[in-house]
Amino acid sequence: MIKKKPITEFLKTIIILLLFQLSTSSHRKPPPLPILPIPKSRQISWQIAEMALFLHFGTNTFTDSEWGTGHVDPSIFNPKLLNATQWVTVAKDFGFKRVVLTAKHHDGFCLWPSKYTDYSVKSSPWRNGVGDIVADLAEAARNGGLELGLYLSPWDRHEHCYGETLEYNEYYMGQMTELLTRYGEIKYVFLDGAKGDGEKDMEYFFDDWFSLIHQLQPGASIFSDVGPDTRWVGNENGVAGSTCWSLFNGSEVKIGGYSDARYSAEGDAFGQDWVPAECDVSIRSGWFWHASEKPKSAMTLLDLYYKSVGRNCPLLLNVPPNSSGLISDEDIHVLKEFSELRNSIFSHNLAKSALLSASSIRGDPNDSQFSPKNVIEEGLYTYWAPDQGQQSDWTLYLEFQQVITFNVLGLQEPIQMGQRIIEFHLDMLDENGKWQHVVNGTTVGYRRLLLFPTVKSHLLRLVIDKSKVFPLISHLGIYMDSYTVPRHVSDDTHTKSKFINNLFFRRTAYNQSQSASI
């Protein structure tokens, strides 16, 4: 039974609350308009992962080759200790959010038991032919909370119908359907346009493939030379342009064709499509594991991080499992150091201790929604917005209680609102009370990191010099990287981007015994 009194009490509370709401509510200024093109939701989730681990694995792992002929006997494939949980654990422990497997490379050997060919794990001695590496990895990734991506090579040096346009496109789409329907959610599909010399006339039905992939896995971002969701950066060194737009005209580039490497690396300020670049590179010189190759150093990976993630491009780092079916200890060691370096540098944002102010603020300056303080918060959805009418001065000021020492600037734009910033620079007040130039940059996008000679100051200003429309900034970081030391100091923008390309590593400042204690 409900008594009357509580109900009246309840209604009274509601009315009081409503009146309170009415008396204090003021009309908030809505967010500004985005500037088109803007990313699709799958592209945002692909981008914020920042780093993915590429796993090149297959018959090549056992034959010491990079491009299998397609005629290697499957009996060679026997990774006795294969453990996909080890791959995922390595990825997860050292900061990778996605694992991407070569389900089939150019040699045509399938790491899952495809119904359309016998050239697969089912003809190998591994687990007596009943194993499925894609299934193992899918399960391990799901358990570890990582995203799964797959590479299905269009070029197939084994399949007899390769070269017959219709038959081979049917075969390819049949295999793609197996991969995208058997293993749960797939978040990423990597494609290239490679073809055999004798089969240049065969057509790949890319439009059909892309439509099928999006139909079966709407959350999957597709990588190719031109997108549709993410584009190749134009080199296999893992280096993006120091100007790097997520905007692009897909029609300018042909998949597998001879493309303009600079256009791929820099994108297009006037591009009509949102197709951000991704940087793929291997931790070793080859893509597959070779006993004779050694991994790059952690400092080299840190340099690559600045040139990929720090230039608005996720890093797809290949770490090939060895012939036992495990990621080698030496690679794990380097990944651990690389992760410790990043944590040591980027977990301490000096800007958090600054008093932040801006040349102008959108809407009510007492309302936090577009406040400059938002740039300290992580994430894309809190940002500083200047007053829309203020066309000439877009500046953020950071005032510190004490002099700070730093050499890295990090910036992020709320990319869901489009990519806006064209040019910016950072100034600091010197000990004589004069503004000194610290660094200039072009384009920001999802993340921009700029490294420069170490400076000290207690007052900084970030000036947006040029923007497509008024800029928005979702994150600002000021860091000290005491491991990487630029070779020389220069005021010139062009020399600056050159010296960042030629970083000199003060190796004595960093050694393995130190790294363990970071």
- Which residues are near ligand NAG by CB under 6 A? 83, 85-86, 89, 249, 252, 268, 270-272, 322-324, 326-329, 364, 366, 425, 440, 465, 491-493, 508, 511, 513-514
Which residue's CB is nearer to ligand NAG, number 99 or number 180?
A: 99
CB of 484 to ligand NAG, least distance (A): 16
Q: Is the peptide bond before 37 cis (omega within 30 degrees of 0)?
A: yes
- In 153-244, the DSSP E strands lie at 188-190, 221-224, 230-232
Which residue's CB is nearer to ligand NAG, number 52 or number 326?
A: 326
**How many Å separate Cα 471 from the centre of its chain?**
22
CB 487 within 8 A of CB 504: yes
Which residue's CB is nearer to ligand NAG, number 167 or number 465?
A: 465
CB of 32 to ligand NAG, least distance (A): 19
Classify burial at 490, counting beta carbons within 10 Å of its beta carbon; exposed 0-12, middle 13-18, buried 19 or more.
middle
Which residue's CB is nearer to ligand NAG, number 319 or number 503?
A: 319
Residue 235: count of CB within 10 angstroms of its CB: 14
CB of 490 to ligand NAG, least distance (A): 9
User: In residues, how long is the chain?
Assistant: 518
Which residue's CB is nearer to ligand NAG, number 292 or number 402?
A: 292
Tokens 């406040």 — which residue?
371
Residues 428-432: contacts with CB within 8 Å, 24+ apart?
Answer: 428/455, 428/457, 428/459, 428/460, 428/461, 429/457, 429/458, 429/459, 429/460, 430/457
Ramachandran assignment for 266, one of left (phi > 0), alpha (psi -120 to 50 degrees), beta (any other)? alpha
Which residue's CB is nearer to ligand NAG, number 217 or number 515?
A: 515
CB of 491 to ligand NAG, least distance (A): 5
Which residue's CB is nearer to ligand NAG, number 91 or number 110?
A: 91
Which residue's CB is nearer to ligand NAG, number 366 or number 402?
A: 366
Question: 7 CB contacts (<8 Å, ≥6 apart)?
Answer: none
CB of 46 to ligand NAG, least distance (A): 23
Nearest to 478 by CA among 395, 396, 409: 409
CB of 51 to ligand NAG, least distance (A): 19
CB of 9 to ligand NAG, least distance (A): 35
CB of 332 to ligand NAG, least distance (A): 7
Label the pairing between strands 448-467 and 395-412.
antiparallel
Classify burial at 251, counting beta carbons within 10 Å of its beta carbon; exposed 0-12, middle 13-18, buried 19 or more.
exposed
Which residue's CB is nearer to ligand NAG, number 15 or number 81?
A: 81
Q: How far apart are CA 296 and CA 114, in angstroms?
A: 35
CB of 402 to ligand NAG, least distance (A): 26
CB of 438 to ligand NAG, least distance (A): 10
Residue 254: count of CB within 10 angstroms of its CB: 13
CB of 336 to ligand NAG, least distance (A): 13
Which residue's CB is nearer to ligand NAG, number 178 or number 481?
A: 481
Which residue's CB is nearer to ligand NAG, number 118 or number 491?
A: 491
Q: How far apart are CA 55 and CA 318, in angstroms?
A: 6
Helix pair 329-346, 298-307: axis angle to 10 deg:
50
Q: How far apart are CA 109 and CA 96, in angstroms?
A: 27
